[in-house]
Structure 1
Amino acid sequence: MNHGVRSFPIRENGMNFEAQALQPHEAAAMKGDSDVIERIKGSYGLMLDFYGMCLLNFETGLIGRSEGYRARYRNLLQAPHNNLRVTRILKCLSEMGLEHLNAGFLLHVLNEQSEHKQLNTSLLRDSMDRWWANCLRNEADREWIGLTIKKARNGEIFSREKYEASLRRRKESESFAEPQLECTDA
């Protein structure tokens, strides 16, 4: 990949030492430009395909496997430099107000690890647990996803059904938290 191309700009220096970090005023202008957001969404779709995934629902962030995913998953596992790219992508999505896509990505990977035993190397898990999950700016989402990851690491299966239900719940209520039952006096 050409590191001179800045498909996913963030406020940090990357591998291209000649490139400048994104400045706050630039980020604000980009976030408000629908053409820029469309290009970022397109770049995200291309990168998902490169990693063996496809965006099934933009509104929720739901991801599925793309055609030929096995070879692409294998590449993702065998080329750990991709973990840095994923971190950059997630940070950029948060910067551009597309953080719901981060959650869809994280929970898709967790489902693949938990239910299907895919994308499940110690290096990828470490990147996910330590870096990717912390790219979420929304504290409640970050805590819920962190707890969900911890449960899966302790053996609880994070099924596709749970994945899809979680994204629907977040879309409908703007929260991953499951509604609490209220006790009433009869």
Structure 2
Amino acid sequence: MTPLSGLLRLATRVSVAAAWFVRGGLCPLVAWLWRRSRLFLASRVFTPAATYVHLAVGWRGERGSANEPEVTDGGDGVGETRVEEGRREAGPGTAGPGDTDGEEDAALYRADPADELYCGYDSTWEAEVSDERTLAGSWRPAAPRPYKFSRFENAARDMYNYRHDYPLWDSFPISFVEQDDKPNLCFYLGKKPSLPDGVYIHNFHNDWYGNYDKLEYVHTYIQWLFPLQEPGMNNDASTLTKGEIEDFLANGTARENLLRSYELMLDFYGIMLCNEKTGEVKRASHWRDRFCNLNNHTHNNLRITRILKCLGTLGFPHYQAPLVHFFLMETLVRGELPNIKDSVLNYFVFAVLDKRERRNLVKFAYLNYDRKDEFVWCPRKIQMMWSGLSASEPGDGDKKDGYEL
């Protein structure tokens, strides 16, 4: 063998080995890194950038659309923008008590954008008519505000986007997951299993009910049981489409299965559904053990936020407020679940689509909050209006804003 032929043979072997590594090792590694990083990039980089641009330039579209801001002409001929609470806040495709407010309510709950605790993303309160601003242009006081308010404001962006039917996602055309023909609806009709677990909907309801270890430590099922229009952390799950939502709402089997999924997770958290018509919930007999688990595994806060969003999207918006009120009672009145209190106030309350229900929940929270000077979840003006009221003692049978204490 000549030295030249030896070098050629060595070069061939190196080339084959390199090709095998690229195809068999490097490509899957790159693909895995891409799958893991794209959701992070979307949620932490692209979405905040899109949010800033979206709010800075304003919406574009036909005047009067349910999810578009209403533009009114002022006396100087310059249009000012006010974000309206559209149908989305009362449930998809239906008008509800949260859609519109009477003149008395609107005047009562007007909030000044110059308020120390005014949050432009919190559409719970009416903006002052004389000082309507865009979200991006709202004036902010120069003095630093409480750390709790900063955390609330960050959460409010996400909840605002949900309540207004994801205007930011609509303006950001990225397909996070390749979808086949309505995978979430097919899953709920028992025609396909979840991925990657390979579990059908009836198996979840029959075999996973009461299997608390599986429900706690498996993290790839919640996106299938409670699908949303926003991506989750399971790359094998699909986001809801508008067509799926319409078909889901019109399908009795899918809705019944969603109700059973809700009861499955309520049992996991030590809660039971008392009234299927109203959505009223109460402690289950095994609540102590399950509350301990919930308090020690706070990733369930994300799951509960997803559940609340899904209920509002897929036909059960009236179930949202009773569940949130339950958690407010447990955290603020009964002193249980201290590790989820911040999530209840920052996320759970503001997942409620019905504006009036949301206001009542914030009021209930304020009246039962120990350190009212540290309460940051509504403007100071609203707090001053409520400051003359006091919370009833738990168990006295009184009711405030429709909620029994």
Normalized against structure 2, the TM-score is what?
0.38
TM superposition shift of 1:36: 0.8
What are the within-5 Å matches in structure 2 for residues 16-31 of structure 1?
16-31=234-249
Q: 1:84 to 1:158 in 2, by over 3 A?
A: farther
| Correspondence for 1:3 among 220, 231, 240 | 220
| Structure 2 residue 324 is matched with structure 1 residue 88 | no
Q: Which has the higher contact order (CA 8 A, sep 6+)?
A: 1
More moved, 151-160 vs 9-18: 151-160
In structure 1, the residue matched to 2:365 is: 149
TM superposition shift of 1:2: 4.4
RMSD: 2.2
In structure 2, the residue matched to 1:172 is: none
Secondary structure of the corresponding residue to residue 153 of structure 1: coil
| Structure 2 residue 289 is matched with structure 1 residue 71 | yes
What are the within-5 Å matches in structure 2 for residues 135-146 of structure 1?
135-146=351-362
TM superposition shift of 1:148: 1.5
Q: Which one-letter code corresponds to 2:270 in the other structure?
A: G
| Correspondence for 1:106 among 286, 305, 324 | 324
Secondary structure of the corresponding residue to residue 325 of structure 2: helix
Q: 2:398 and 2:345 mapped to 1: Cα distance? A: 19
Q: 1:165 and 1:83 mapped to 2: Cα distance? A: 26
| Correspondence for 1:52 among 261, 266, 270 | 270
Q: Identical aligned pairs, as a percentage?
A: 30
Q: 1:13 to 1:134 in 2, by over 3 A?
A: same
TM superposition shift of 1:162: 5.0
More moved, 156-165 vs 106-115: 156-165
Pick the structure with greater CA Rg.
Answer: 2
Structure 2 runs not aligned, ≥5 long: 1-217, 372-390
| Correspondence for 1:125 among 317, 336, 341 | 341
Secondary structure of the corresponding residue to residue 44 of structure 1: helix
Q: Tell me the alpha carbon deviations over residues 105-142 of structure 1, each in whole angstroms, 9 at most, x when there is no partner.
A: 11111112233211223xx1111111111111111211
Number of equivalenced pairs: 166
Q: Which one-letter code corresponds to 1:25 in the other structure?
A: G
Q: Considering fraction of residues, name the structure with more helix.
A: 1
In structure 2, the residue matched to 1:176 is: none
Q: 1:39 to 1:70 in 2, by over 3 A?
A: same
Q: 1:35 to 1:126 in 2, by over 3 A?
A: same
Q: 2:400 and 2:270 mapped to 1: Cα distance? A: 19
Q: Which one-letter code corresponds to 2:220 in the other structure?
A: H
| Structure 2 residue 271 is matched with structure 1 residue 35 | no
More moved, 144-153 vs 101-110: 144-153
Q: 1:34 to 1:77 in 2, by over 3 A?
A: same
